[in-house]
């Protein structure tokens, strides 16, 4: 069984401030982990993925995430928020075996305040 | 552009009607997923197909059905539509090897009046 918990359905940050979006996962086998971003009226877009090659993963638009097995976390960060980062962010987990079951979190809406 | 196409972009229909949503996956992807996204329910996984076979079911209503054809495109059929079925419906595809990342289409916005 696998699951994902995103802490905070809404997060507000000031432009230029650190962005931190939290994700904790549960998986009975080594997981693959993903962050997706959804801009208004668009589909989800892959931001970055953890595939066990490196614990610190860099993605598009200056985002990165760190896999911490001991904390079962995969938090998303960006050093300096831009107005264009305002969107909804989804964390997802996939099992390394089986038929590609993917479980999404409930999403976190990021608001960037000028 | 993810390479996943969905038609139509918008659909307006009346309660009780039936509609079909179409999805073409990225070239070479064998897995297709359908999702429903609404303001009150969030992103809900409906169903997954892999190379023509159903692989997983999520919160899909009995009034809804899907299939994946030999050319790998997929259709989601929604029948006896209710006002509450108004939502964005996304299709995503995934490579058959590798890390299972999903590539989402632009979605079909369904409005039931």
pLDDT digits (tens, 9 = 90+) for B62-93: 999 999 999 999 999 999 999 999 999 999 99
- Is B100 in contact with A102 (Cβ distance < 8 A)? yes
Q: Give residue A108's pLDDT.
A: 97
The mean-pLDDT minimum among A88-97, B20-29, B40-49, B94-103 falls in: B94-103
Q: How far is A59 from chain B (nearest CA, A)?
A: 13
- Over 70: is that where the pLDDT of A98 sits? no
B13: how many CB neighbours lie within 10 A of its CB? Answer: 16
- How far does the CA of residue B14 sit from the closest CA of chain A (Å)? 22
Q: Chain B: residue nearest A109 by CA?
A: B42
Beta bridge partners of A50: A33
pLDDT computed for residue B101 by the predictor: 85
Q: What is the pLDDT of residues A22-59, one digit of tens each?
A: 999 998 777 889 999 999 888 999 999 998 778 899 99
> Which residues are paired to B76 by β-bridges?
B21, B66
Question: Which conformational region is residue A28 in: left (phi greater than 0), alpha (psi within -120 to 50 degrees), or beta?
Answer: alpha
């Amino acid at each position: 069984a696998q699951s994902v918990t995103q802490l905070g359905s809404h997060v507000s940050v000031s432009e230029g401030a650190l962005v931190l979006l939290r994700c904790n996962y549960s998986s009975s086998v080594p997981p693959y982990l993903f962050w997706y971003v959804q801009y208004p009226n668009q589909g989800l877009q892959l931001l970055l993925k953890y595939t066990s090659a490196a614990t610190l993963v860099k993605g598009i638009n200056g985002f990165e995430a760190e896999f911490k097995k001991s904390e079962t976390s995969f938090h998303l960060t960006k050093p300096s928020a831009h107005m264009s980062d305002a969107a909804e962010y989804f964390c997802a987990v996939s099992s390394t075996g089986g038929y590609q079951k993917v479980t999404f979190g409930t999403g976190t809406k990021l608001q960037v305040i000028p | 552009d993810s390479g996943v196409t969905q038609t139509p972009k918008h659909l307006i229909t009346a309660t009780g009607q039936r509609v079909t949503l179409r999805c073409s996956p990225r070239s070479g992807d064998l897995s297709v997923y359908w999702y429903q996204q609404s303001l009150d329910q969030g992103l809900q996984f409906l169903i997954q197909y892999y190379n023509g076979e159903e692989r997983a079911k999520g919160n899909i209503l009995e009034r809804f059905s899907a299939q994946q054809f030999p050319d790998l495109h997929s259709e989601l059929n929604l029948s006896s539509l209710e006002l509450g079925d108004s939502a964005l419906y996304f299709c995503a595809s995934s490579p058959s090897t590798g890390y299972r990342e999903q590539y989402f289409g632009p979605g079909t916005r369904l409005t039931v009046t």
